Amino acid sequence: IFAGVALAPRDPILGLNEAYNADARATKVNLGVGVYFDENGKIPLLSAVKVAEKARLEAMPPRGYQAIEGNAQYNQAVQKLLLGADSELLAAGRVVTAQALGGTGALKIGADFLKGLKADAKVYISDPSWENHRALFEAAGFVVENYPYYDAETRGVNFAAMKAFLLGLAPGSVIVLHACCHNPTGADMSDAQWAEVVEVCRERALVPFLDMAYQGFAEGIEPDAVAVRLFSASGLQFFVSSSFSKSFSLYGERVGALSIITADKDESARVLSQLKRVIRTNYSNPPIHGGAVVAAVLSSPELRQMWEDELGGMRVRIRAMREGLVSALKSKGVAQDFSFVTAQRGMFSYTGLSAAQVEVLRADYGIYAVSTGRICLAALNQNNLAYVADAIAEVVKG
């Protein structure tokens, strides 16, 4: 049966983890994986999550099947975070939300649903993008192409090229947009540019698919939702995949959601009925625990405040690491201006380090980064910052 099975290529980032784990050097640092580590280099378990989990453990609730679209209280909490508590779309019944297996699961059910709806549409992702975007939409049967996004010269978004490209797309094309904290570059569009993207989507009748994996990691819950809010105000229909993997530090619990903004209540009922078919044939219904914990936190004013404070702490720490890295590189006499690192948002930075330089970091220093030069700032802390800055300084000075 399996004689003809070819060996698939290793996932580049998970492969990096394996190499890191096998490295015996005590000073090794893993800047590859997109996970938030605290000042002690640990994945935090948030206090708000602990309180909610303790209450669940004490209540010992039964474990029947969930509804196909998941936990209703959770789905409503997701909608309010994305669209705002007083969203007119919610009042008008224009939002369909299904709990999903992380942001990845949300993208997957969104892609499968779209394939049933627009089989011949092409999907466009940013150049570069999170590497799984292409794989996910291709696996759903779509042809996937890039739209221009990152400008290595300015270390920002090449908005003119992006907009010109989008204006040339066929109506019905699906365009995947990083709602905030672009992965891998850390380069986001300005609010004014987002407003232009909304108008291009309207003009060219594109299908916007916003991927929101890092709400709260740039400026805060509300400001990070600006792209979603501009699309909501536009009257257009669109998709949003969202994830609590990072913002709740619940990576392995797989808590995300797919939200679809429709034209009206009647459309919502029909869209939900089809989305439920997609879910039913994928995994039937989502698991209980992660969604229940997030719902409990978001529906209790005290726990929600606790969570926002903890999320704020993560955001502030990442920013401090960005600033620390830039000033350490400067003080080590690096001539190149690295101040762009503080302008980038979210967990990642496209450092501009070449694949060869990344390889020297690994071989000589046990510092692991993605070969594209992407590093995760959330893996830095006061203990390893000077070491990493020293190594980068040596590598860029040649």
Query: Is residue 149 at the binding interface for ligand PMP, with CB under 6 A as the rule?
Result: no
Interacting residue with ligand PMP among 20, 74, 124, 130 (CB under 6 A): 130
C-beta of 211: minimal distance to ligand PMP in Å? 5
Least distance CB 356 / ligand PMP (angstroms): 26
- 20 or 209: whose CB is closer to ligand PMP? 209
Active-site choice (28, 211, 224, 276): 211
CA 201 – CA 346 distance, rounded (Å): 25
Taking contact as CB under 6 A, which single stretch among the options 2-10, 102-110, 218-226, 381-389 is the one that binds ligand PMP?
102-110
- 173 and 124 in contact (C-beta within 8 Å)? yes
Interface region with ligand PMP, contact rule CB under 6 A, candidates 99-107, 190-198, 227-235, 337-345: 99-107
Query: Is the alpha carbon torsion for 285, 288, 289, 290 positive or negative?
Result: positive
Pick the stretch among 20-28, 96-104, 149-157, 189-197 that binds ligand PMP (CB under 6 A).
Answer: 96-104
End-to-end Cα spacing for the chain: 52
Phi/psi class of residue 205: alpha, beta or left (left: φ > 0; alpha: ψ in -120 to 50)?
Answer: left
What is the length of the chain? 398
Residues with Cβ < 8 Å from 284, sequence gap 6 or more?
A: 65, 68
- The residue within the footprint of ligand PMP, chosen from 32, 70, 102, 208 (CB under 6 A), is 102
Q: Shortest gap between Cβ of 197 and ligand PMP (angstroms)? A: 17
Q: Which two tokens stand for residue 355?
A: 């694949």
Is residue 279 a contact partner of residue 87, using CB atoms and an 8 Å limit? no
Binding segment for ligand PMP (CB under 6 A), chosen from 100-108, 223-231, 299-307, 362-370, is 100-108
Distance CA 387, CA 397 (A): 15
DSSP 3-state assignment of 346?
coil
* Listed residue (244, 239, 259, 240) closest to 291, CA to CA: 244
| Pick 32 or 103: Cβ nearer ligand PMP | 103
Q: Is 186 in the site for ligand PMP (CB under 6 A)?
A: no
Which listed range, 101-109, 141-149, 229-237, 290-298, lies at the site for ligand PMP (CB under 6 A)?
101-109
Active-site residue, from 28, 108, 115, 246: 246
CB of 245 to ligand PMP, least distance (A): 3
345 lies in the site for ligand PMP, by CB under 6 A: no
C-beta of residue 81 within 8 angstroms of C-beta of residue 97: no
With CA atoms as reference, report the closest residue to 315 among 155, 210, 180, 195: 180
Specify the residue for token string 């999907």: 123
Using CB under 6 A as the binding rule, the residues of this chain from 238 to 257 that contact ligand PMP are 243, 245, 256
Give the residue with the Cβ less far from ligand PMP, 285 or 357. Answer: 285
Q: Interface with ligand PMP includes 34 (CB under 6 A)?
A: yes
If we measure between CA atoms, which residue out of 145, 136, 130, 115 comes closest to residue 214?
130
Query: In the annotation, is 211 catalytic?
Result: yes
Asked whether the beta carbons of 348 and 370 are under 8 A apart, the reply is no
374 counts as binding ligand PMP under rule CB under 6 A: no
Helix 131-139, helix 102-117: angle, nearest 10: 40
The residue from 130, 188, 194, 224 that is catalytic is 130
* 194 belongs to the binding site for ligand PMP (CB under 6 A): no
Nearer of residues 186 and 256 to ligand PMP, judged by Cβ = 256
Q: Verify binding: residue 291, ligand PMP, rule CB under 6 A.
A: no
Please identify, using beta-carbon distances, which residue of 107 and 200 lies nearer to ligand PMP: 107
Q: Which of 150, 153, 236, 151 is nearest to 195 (CA)?
A: 236
Helix pair 385-397, 355-365: axis angle to 10 deg = 130
Query: Is 130 one of the catalytic residues?
Result: yes
- What character string, x for contact with ligand PMP (CB under 6 A) and - otherwise, covers 205-224? ------x-x-----------
Token pair 């903890």 is found at 310
Catalytic residues: 130, 211, 246
Q: Binding residues for ligand PMP, per CB under 6 A?
A: 34, 102-104, 130, 178, 183, 211, 213, 243, 245, 256
